């Protein structure tokens, strides 16, 4: 397939964008049609219109929410790193960089796992996915409480607090996401 032979001329930004879309879009649409594929891409958002996940339909709204949630917990972890265990001279204890970074990594992995549970790649979000995310958060909370002894630096307690907060918030968040997912499938 050949591309239209139009000379490039200096034009305004809107005309240039339209010309580029015409120059690139026409051959691509013809190729899709030739191979029997329908264009399932929305031209304004460049996202899949038939995506089962609410996250993909609303752009980066939920992705940003999960990233923001993790960043809040990174800040909490950094602040809790300043609280050493019970020692005679707390000012003499060095900042535990390795432990704080490892805790932030653990919370990042947990946040990614929650995002994957609450935004499945195949099929729409169902209450079963929300229940699995709830059980995951509850397991993180119970495991963190059971694994952490008393009198440890403050950042050791952050995964348990993260698990408790996530356990409490995953049901209302899941309800919102399930309703948006159902609304997205109906329209």
Residue 49 has pLDDT above 80, yes or no: no
Question: pLDDT for 73-116, tens place per residue?
Answer: 999 999 999 888 888 887 888 889 999 999 999 999 999 999 88
| Mean pLDDT within 56-60 | 53
pLDDT > 70 fraction of the chain, expressed in percent and rounded: 65
- Say which residue, 55 or 154, is predicted with more confidence: 154
pTM, 2 dp: 0.65
41 pLDDT tier (thresholds 50, 70, 90): very low
Question: pLDDT for 158-185, tens place per residue?
Answer: 999 999 999 999 989 888 877 877 766 5
The pLDDT, as a whole number, for residue 43 is 40
Question: pLDDT for 16-29, tens place per residue?
Answer: 545 444 544 455 45
Can you read off the two tokens belonging to residue 39? 């264009």
| Sequence-separated (6 or more) residues with CB below 8 Å from residue 5 | none
The pLDDT, as a whole number, for residue 28 is 47
45 pLDDT tier (thresholds 50, 70, 90): very low
DSSP 13-63: HHHHHHHHHHHHHHHHHHHHHHTT----B-TTT-SBTT-S-HHHHTTTHHH
Apex 60 CA angle, 55 and 61, nearest 5: 75
What is the length of the chain?
187
Domain ranges for the chain, please list them.
Answer: 7-39, 54-186
DSSP letter assigned to residue 81: T
The pLDDT, as a whole number, for residue 122 is 72
Residue 67 has pLDDT above 90, yes or no: yes
Can you read off the two tokens belonging to residue 66? 């999960």
Can you read off the two tokens belonging to residue 55? 């996250």
Upper half-sphere CA count for residue 112 (Cβ side, 13 Å): 6
């Amino acid at each position: 397939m050949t591309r239209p032979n139009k000379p490039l001329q200096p034009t305004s930004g809107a005309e240039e964008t339209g010309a580029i879309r015409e120059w690139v879009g026409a051959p691509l649409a013809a190729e899709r049609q030739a191979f029997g594929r329908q264009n399932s891409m929305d031209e304004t958002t460049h996202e899949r219109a038939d995506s089962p996940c609410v996250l993909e339909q609303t752009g980066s709204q939920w992705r940003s929410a999960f990233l923001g949630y993790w960043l809040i917990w990174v800040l909490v972890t950094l602040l809790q790193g300043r609280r050493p265990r019970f020692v005679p001279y707390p000012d003499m204890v060095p900042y535990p960089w390795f432990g704080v970074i490892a805790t932030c990594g653990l919370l990042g992995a947990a946040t990614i796992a929650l995002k994957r549970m609450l935004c499945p790649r195949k099929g729409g979000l169902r209450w079963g996915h929300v229940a699995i995310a709830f059980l995951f958060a509850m397991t993180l909370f119970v495991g963190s409480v059971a694994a952490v002894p008393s009198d440890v630096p403050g950042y050791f307690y952050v995964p348990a607090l993260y698990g408790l907060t996530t356990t409490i918030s995953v049901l209302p968040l899941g309800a919102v996401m399930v309703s948006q997912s159902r609304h997205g499938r109906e329209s």
